[in-house]
Structure 1
């Protein structure tokens, strides 16, 4: 195969959609009973199959493997029609709460588009299309009995689905509050607008053939890029509302996990009060973050009898002379924890009568700031210097 056969404009979106489908596969396995998860997976699968099928080299392969010239046409148009039906039902799922009426409406959509797919195959089987046409099938056979109806049928089905979907989104958009859902709907609207341009170009080119005018370039050159843009944006539009919040949460957890690392590393010398379940480094990030937070808070509880509130106050007051209150609390907290760890190692708790039950809200409520200070100045962990002396070098 030559590089020119790869058709990069087709390959790139195909790989992106296939990657999205693979990423969705674990969710489908875990929650296959969820109708929304199944519908999203079906939509991604159909979009991927459409892109694979419309690649010129694959159109020829389908025809060659089956031995039927142009059979790739009903195959590809059937996938596209099924994709359109799935898009309409997905929008219906988003807009309406589960109900008998919603289920009946979605069944009606599937029944109508199933009938259209059956019509595509019947008209193709009745048509006489012996010459393989990869790039200009629509215009070349625009006047061929039954193939003409075949072409018009898939274009009308696609056009109607785009208009109906765009109308549904337009009347619903102002009621949407989720930024992720809004972003997805914007992609859908732009995608459907591109689809309408595709339909318009195809219909104009075919109408030109009917009237004896050569507008084939609209079908072969203008329409395909808009078809690609349509399918990509529509698929992405359905992915964003589901993948967006999940990715945002993952990045947030990742940032939190890394931010707490310096403090967790210092507190590792404190054995947990009870045996903890082993969590692999390959475990889900949210589980590893939860364990890290639990270890930190458990260590704080064990350090409470060794915490010197007076030293913390002195360090905080000294820190305010050079930093804002938040940074000063972080530095003072870091010094107080280091001091408490030293006392813990020496087995020398403070006077219990002067200690609170917990290590103190100024410490527990600012663990992120404390961890930041430990990351920025490792020398802060020197336990020989007093907090007041070390505060001048911190952060």
Structure 2
């Protein structure tokens, strides 16, 4: 779904790529998958350049995503993003070159970085990925820190908070890794920093950074879906009230996964079609009287809803009876005082009420 949406939105496409790189890192560094890769390929420790390449791609995508958020489209932004892609692509190539030049015959599933910390070329391989990750975390955190005071949208602000915490945890991961590796260079053993301390911070970083980029895009969509669902349900009773007119055109066949926005749009259109049929039977004078009574006790929107509910019910009864209800000289159509308050009318029609009760805002008792 993210990839299909990405054809229309570059930000969504970049988010999909970032999630792909993060998932790839997590899959590759799983001990069972490291062992399988060693067995399938016959190359010990091949998981290392794969995992570190995916991690480097993750860093590059995160950096460019932040630039997309902070800066409007421009040639300067495009050149900077292109430069980042080329730099990190070069780092990935260097990772593979250093791994191929290194002599790492013994497969190490848990302590590769510290076991080969002093091995020629593997030493450079390890430093390369750790420093590339540390630089991207520092630069990203710095850009977000400077940008945060200027953010006005709540969803983006929430995402930036997740990103800042995530990149801070990523720096803890880098410090732990460098501490363990440098200890090996000095003849000491602080492998626990690499094997026990660093991994949880890496996992938390991946989760929080992924959430940080997802929230600003998924949050508004989820909010819209909830609002559409609420509006769709509120209009159900109103639609059932006016559907006696059979005014709607042929409806589309909706499935389980049909967007709620499309369903809501069709329901609103059906109601508008029915109101056009009911217009000759709509008593505008009675509507205005009910509105004036209700607005003295309720808000504008609530009063419009109560008055509209009464008038529409009367129009439906007049339509069913076949008698014109609107006196001569009144508007031929139902105006925006009703059509702009369909949600409020739907809310008022949740249960049967009398016209007097509508005017006072009190639901009538069921018989």
* TM-score, L = length of structure 1: 0.84
Give the structure 2 partner of residue 45 of structure 1: 20
Distance 1:223 1:373, change over 3 A: same
Distance 1:48 1:350, change over 3 A: same
* 1:27 matches 2:5: yes
Q: Given that residues 208 and 214 in structure 1 are in contact (C-alpha distance below 8 angstroms), is that contact kept between their aligned partners in structure 2? A: yes
Give the structure 2 partner of residue 128 of structure 1: 103
* 1:280 matches 2:248: no
SS at match of 1:269: helix
Structure 1 unpaired stretches of 5+: 1-22, 381-385
Q: Which of 170, 179, 192 is the aligned partner of 1:204? A: 179
Distance of 2:193 and 2:20 partners within structure 1? 29
Distance of 1:314 and 1:170 partners within structure 2? 58
Distance 1:72 1:263, change over 3 A: same
Q: Which of 346, 349, 354 is the aligned partner of 2:321? A: 346
Distance 1:228 1:287, change over 3 A: same
Q: Given that residues 304 and 358 in structure 1 are in contact (C-alpha distance below 8 angstroms), is that contact kept between their aligned partners in structure 2? A: yes
Q: Given that residues 281 and 288 in structure 1 are in contact (C-alpha distance below 8 angstroms), is that contact kept between their aligned partners in structure 2? A: no
Give the structure 2 partner of residue 118 of structure 1: 93
Q: Given that residues 307 and 355 in structure 1 are in contact (C-alpha distance below 8 angstroms), is that contact kept between their aligned partners in structure 2? A: no
* 1:36 matches 2:11: yes
Matches within 5 A, 1:1-395: 23-28=1-6, 30-31=7-8, 34-272=9-247, 275-282=249-256, 283-313=258-288, 315=290, 327=302, 329-375=304-350, 377=351, 379-380=352-353, 387-388=355-356, 394=363
Distance of 2:271 and 2:140 partners within structure 1? 51
Distance 1:321 1:124, change over 3 A: closer
Give the structure 2 partner of residue 6 of structure 1: none
Deviation at residue 335 of structure 1 after TM alignment: 2.5
Q: Given that residues 69 and 131 in structure 1 are in contact (C-alpha distance below 8 angstroms), is that contact kept between their aligned partners in structure 2? A: yes
Q: How many residues align?
A: 362
Distance of 2:326 and 2:158 partners within structure 1? 58
Q: Given that residues 281 and 318 in structure 2 are in contact (C-alpha distance below 8 angstroms), is that contact kept between their aligned partners in structure 1? A: yes
Deviation at residue 389 of structure 1 after TM alignment: 7.4
User: Could you give the per-residue CA deviations for residues 203-257 of structure 1, whole angstroms, max 9, x where no partner exists?
Assistant: 1111111122221111111100000011111122112222222221111111111
Deviation at residue 279 of structure 1 after TM alignment: 4.5
SS at match of 1:355: coil
Q: Given that residues 315 and 332 in structure 1 are in contact (C-alpha distance below 8 angstroms), is that contact kept between their aligned partners in structure 2? A: yes
User: Could you give the per-residue CA deviations for residues 333-367 of structure 1, whole angstroms, max 9, x where no partner exists?
Assistant: 32221111111012100254153233355433432
CA RMSD of aligned residues (A): 2.4
Distance of 1:363 and 1:39 partners within structure 2? 44
Deviation at residue 199 of structure 1 after TM alignment: 0.3
* TM-score, L = length of structure 2: 0.90
User: Could you give the per-residue CA deviations for residues 104-132 of structure 1, whole angstroms, max 9, x where no partner exists?
Assistant: 21222122112211221121112221221
Structure 2 unpaired stretches of 5+: none
Moved more, 233-242 or 189-198: 233-242
Distance of 2:202 and 2:358 partners within structure 1? 65
Distance 1:42 1:333, change over 3 A: same
Moved more, 125-134 or 34-43: 34-43
Distance of 1:128 and 1:114 partners within structure 2? 24
Distance of 2:68 and 2:178 partners within structure 1? 31
Q: Given that residues 281 and 315 in structure 2 are in contact (C-alpha distance below 8 angstroms), is that contact kept between their aligned partners in structure 1? A: yes
Distance of 2:77 and 2:299 partners within structure 1? 57
